[in-house]
Amino acid sequence: MDARISLNFSIAKVIAIFTVLAGHWFSPSILWIPVTVGLFIFAFSSGYFTSRRYGAGVDIGRFWKNKLERLGARYWVILGFLAVVVMLRGGVLFHWHTLVHFLGLSGVLNWMGIHNRSGLGAGLWFFTLLLMFYLTYPLLAKVCRSAPRAMVVAASSTVIAIYLEERSRIGHELWLTSLGFILGVAYGMPRPRLRARPAALVAALGCVALLAAHGIGLKGANTALIALTSIACCMWLANATGFRWHGLSRLVRLEDYLLEIFLVHTYLFVHPTHNTLLDLVISTVVIVAVAAGLHRLSRRAAVASWQH
């Protein structure tokens, strides 16, 4: 059953990363709504599978060692590549903000309202959020050990996240993305069994409601509807053990490159033909190829560091 759920989320995350890519390509557009759902799925998946793997009795030292070994080399290889891209384009690199980015703390600049002076920084806020997820996980997992407490955490976090998303001006849907991780842990710890079809129905109705709200200009309902739709999508993914993806299962091959694609894609948009759709296809091919190369390079770097 875990294998089926893992497959569901793997495919959904690959679809989500290309939605994020398209959303940035066509920005500003209505695609920001599915992009937000995609970010929620990323975060929920991280929380859910972290809780399934480590549980509540996590060894914090070993936990962080595993995370740093898995993500550290990848992150610095990606930033090394992006630094070269920035220099070749004549962007600003020698600034103290660049050091903040290399430390994985780009999100701090965003959340404190500090204008980024470095050529780096696009999309790196998500890595900071990942670090914060993993920093808070041991405490969150302990709180969510029982189903009643997990439900309280889920309900209260949902209300708070929707309120903060409406009231704060931080941007990039920070609070809903954070909610995804919290709900992933809250669901993954007691892991109640739910029916997939009702969740699919709610997700579909949520999409229809979002389109209708957008069509009539009812923006005030967006945050709550996005939260509802995102939660329903994740509940479906976590319970649709009989769903068959057919040809889409091949997308799983790209899952290894998700972090690289997320962090490099806005730097590699190209416009060789000046045809919007054709240039998007070309840019996507370039981004995936570079992401695959960076991932392999980071694996070699990690192996070399372990051997020494």
pLDDT per residue as tens digits for the range 232-271: 999 999 998 888 888 888 899 999 999 999 999 999 999 9
What span, in angstroms and rounded, lies between the C-alpha atoms of 210 and 224?
10
Q: Which of 43, 81, 13 is nearest to 263 (CA)?
A: 81
Mean pLDDT, rounded, of the chain: 89
CA 156 remoteness from chain centre: 22
Listed residue (39, 18, 36) closest to 248, CA to CA: 18
Contacts of 241 (CB under 8 A, 6+ apart): 1, 4, 5, 196
Q: Residue 122 region, left (φ>0) first, then alpha (ψ -120 to 50), else beta?
A: beta
Q: Can you give the pLDDT at residue 8?
A: 93
- Predicted model pTM: 0.92
Which pLDDT does position 302 carry in this prediction? 65
Mean pLDDT of 117-142: 90
pLDDT at position 50: 92
More confident residue, 8 or 56: 8
∠ CA 286-290-292, nearest 5°, is 120
Band (pLDDT 50/70/90 cuts) for residue 67 is confident
Model confidence band, residue 73 (pLDDT cutoffs 50, 70, 90): confident
- Torsion, Cα 286 289 295 14, to 10 degrees, reads 80
Percent of the residues in the chain that have a pLDDT greater than 90, as a whole number? 58
pLDDT at residue 307, rounded to an integer: 53
Output the six-digit token pair for 121: 């920084």
Residue 136 phi, psi dihedral angles, 5° rounding: -90, -10
Query: What's the rounded Cα separation, in Å, for the pair 92 and 90?
Result: 7
77 or 172, greater pLDDT = 77
- Is the confidence at residue 133, as pLDDT, over 70? yes
pLDDT at 221 exceeding the cut of 70: no
- pLDDT band at 192, cuts 50/70/90? confident
